[in-house]
Amino acid sequence: MQDKEYHNHKIFRAGWLRAAVLGANDGIISTASLIAGMAAINSDYNIIITTGFAGLISGALSMSAGEYVSVCSQSDIEIADLKLEALSLKNNSEYELQELTQIYIDRGLSKKLAYDVAVSLTKHNALDAHARDELGISMHNRANPIKAAIASFFSFSTGATLPMLVALLSPVEHMIFSIITSSVLWLATLGIISAHTGGAKILPATTRVSFVGAAAMAITALIGKLFGT
């Protein structure tokens, strides 16, 4: 495991980090847009705060429900595929061995070596080898729908709490300005963190997320202004 000391792979943390940052981005943009839109209609302070809070809860719930359903259906497909594969390994073991051998030949091993590797891996754990090398399913880090749902609930609400705090502290007449500027700053900060942790270029990632967020909030505030008067 000397390898680890020379370079740190970022791909292993890319998955959860991407999900957490996306959730927080969504929370910031949707709640800030909602509050900016309400402030643009010159709503009452209490109505703005209540609407923002309702948006936080409904957004976090719908985000985690969506995440739960999507991870479940992904996992259903994988389980069905693994069942088919396990059945085929039992009934057509000779064919499956040839199939695995061919996969390793296609990846560049010689016929003899591919056959030896396929035989050893079949002895070791045939289903695991076929899942990984034929179906591209990893048996070791499969996504858990409940964990995914809870994680997106928290990441969305964490993001949504930021514009809520600003709304709570800000007088209605300055709310649009303070919500939009503070949210763009948070989006940029998140962009920097995620680009840095994910090993991506910082400037393009940060500009993209801030620009998209600012545009979403400005459009909602504009719609609020148009329909509110």
Interface residues with Zn ion (CB under 5 A) are 96, 130, 134
At its nearest, how many Å lie between Zn ion and the CB of residue 105?
15
Q: Which is nearer to Zn ion, 84 or 203 (CB)?
A: 84
Name the residue number minimizing CB distance to Zn ion. Answer: 130
Quick one: 90 or 147, whose CB is closer to Zn ion? 90
Q: Which is nearer to Zn ion, 31 or 130 (CB)?
A: 130
Q: How far is the CB of 110 from Zn ion (least distance, A)?
A: 21
Do residues 158 and 60 touch, judged by C-beta distance below 8 A?
A: no
The CA-based angle 54-44-23, given to 5 degrees, is 30
Residue nearer to Zn ion on the CB measure, 116 or 134? 134
In angstroms, what is the minimal distance from the CB of 140 to Zn ion?
A: 18
Q: Least distance in Å: CB of 129 to Zn ion?
A: 9
Q: Which is nearer to Zn ion, 20 or 130 (CB)?
A: 130
Distances 148 to 139, 144, 165 between C-alpha atoms, Å: 17, 6, 26
Which of 137/160 has CB closer to Zn ion? Answer: 137
**Least distance to Zn ion from the beta carbon of 95, Å?**
8
Pick from 67, 46, 28, 40: nearest CA to 149: 67
Smallest distance from the beta carbon of 111 to Zn ion, in angstroms?
A: 18
